Amino acid sequence: MSVQQASKSKVAVSPLELENAKEPPLNLFKPKEPYTATIVSVERLVGPKAPGETCHIVIDHGGNVPYWEGQSYGVIPPGENPKKPGSPHNVRLYSIASTRYGDSFDGKTASLCVRRAVYYDPETGKEDHSKNGVCSNFLCNTKPGDKVQITGPSGKIMLLPEDNPNANHIMIATGTGVAPFRGYLRRMFMEDVTFKFRGLAWLFLGVANADSLLYDDEFTKYLQDFPDHFRYDGALSREQKNKSGGKMYVQDKIEEYSDEIFKLLDDGAHIYFCGLKGMMPGIQETLKRVAEKRGENWDEKLSQLKKKKQWHVEVY
């Protein structure tokens, strides 16, 4: 299916004025005066064999808290801060998982991809509710119509550069770190917007098993509809083995395709990393090892990528 054919079946979005802003919106609502938004829906994203629960949460901001793909919202959970009695909780940041038009394509909602942070007592093996993540459990427990205090939007590091529609984009996510990339890909492949993407988007997604894959149906559809412009590789740590027989992590997939990845980077591709901060050391070690095998100095290469604004990291 050519890009021309596919663009005919793209979804109309509104208001198209959201395309006109030259600069991203930033910090329209601050922690002292957050915006009160409303929950539209909460949906479990993972199958029964997934460890833990990840939810897709759609929030109605009424068009009052606009954002760009790759930005984050802050959420202030209800209740008081145990470390500062009488004060509200600290803001928790969540990468937005939708485009600026939201999942209903009308510019009035934002979606978050949230994994419940659950703490198990190492001695009893039982869940200790007192140590569970306050905000992730609040969000996953909300019902349509519930109110939620949001701040932001914030962040510029993960904005999708749109100046060159032929540019290539390599996206490396672990778990809920896929959120910003879902936004990019909907903008590239689903919505009829001024940005007409003609490059390659390549997504690597690391999760525990097939039941833990997030938004897999969307990504699989792009593969069918845009085979020349999208690649998608999963690393399922509990179901696949790497070449040395260990668990398969995203860095093993990076190593497997390292020749292509390095060539793309040399030709100006953007590379993005999003997920838990524990993902980066293993990835950096792999990239360093691969570079050395190729007779390149990784530290020099990395500083060049940063200088040319090709390197984008958001980990938490």
Answer whether residue 309 shows pLDDT above 80.
Answer: yes
Q: Tell me which of 69-73, 158-162, 235-239, 270-274 is least confident.
A: 235-239
Domains recognised in the chain with CATH numbers: 20-154 (2.40.30.10), 169-315 (3.40.50.80)
The answer to whether residue 95 is catalytic is: yes
Answer whether residue 243 shows pLDDT above 70.
Answer: yes
Distance of alpha carbon 79 from alpha carbon 77, whole angstroms: 7
Residue bearing the bigger pLDDT, 126 or 188: 188
**Active-site option among 35, 73, 94, 272:** 94
pLDDT at 158: 98
Mean pLDDT over 247-269 rounds to: 96
pLDDT at 5: 46
Answer whether residue 82 shows pLDDT above 80.
Answer: yes
Write out pLDDT tens, residues 104-118: 999 999 999 999 988
Nearest to 290 by CA among 269, 265, 268, 259: 259
The answer to whether residue 35 is catalytic is: no
The answer to whether residue 135 is catalytic is: no
pTM: 0.94
Write out pLDDT tens, residues 14-66: 999 999 999 999 999 999 999 999 999 999 999 999 999 999 999 999 999 99
Go through the chain and tell me how many residues it has.
Answer: 316
Q: Any alpha helices (H) in the chain, and if so which ranges? A: 3-8, 134-141, 179-189, 216-225, 250-256, 258-266, 279-293, 298-307
pLDDT at 125: 76
Distance of alpha carbon 41 from alpha carbon 98, whole angstroms: 14
Residue with tokens 């009308």: 106
pLDDT at 132: 82
The answer to whether residue 215 is catalytic is: no
Report CA torsion sign: 210, 216, 219, 222: positive
Share of the chain above pLDDT 70, in %: 97
**Active-site option among 35, 69, 95, 212:** 95
CB 1 within 8 A of CB 117: no
User: Crossing angle for the helix pair 279-293 and 258-266, nearest 10 degrees?
Assistant: 80
> Which 8-state DSSP code applies to residue 175?
G
Distance of alpha carbon 96 from alpha carbon 109, whole angstroms: 10
Burial class of 240 by CB neighbour count within 10 A (0 to 12, 13 to 18, 19+): middle
pLDDT at 153: 98
* 1 pLDDT tier (thresholds 50, 70, 90): very low
Write out pLDDT tens, residues 142-154: 999 999 999 999 9
Answer whether residue 129 shows pLDDT above 90.
Answer: no
The answer to whether residue 316 is catalytic is: yes
Q: Any alpha helices (H) in 88-233, and if so which ranges? A: 134-141, 179-189, 216-225
Mean pLDDT over 147-167 rounds to: 97
Tokens of 300: 């020099």
Cis (ω within 30 of 0) for the bond into 153?
A: yes
Write out pLDDT tens, residues 192-233: 999 999 999 999 999 999 999 999 999 999 999 999 999 999
Share of the chain above pLDDT 90, in %: 90
pLDDT at 130: 72
Residue list for the binding site for NADP(+): 95, 115, 176, 237-238, 247, 275-276, 314
pLDDT at 48: 95
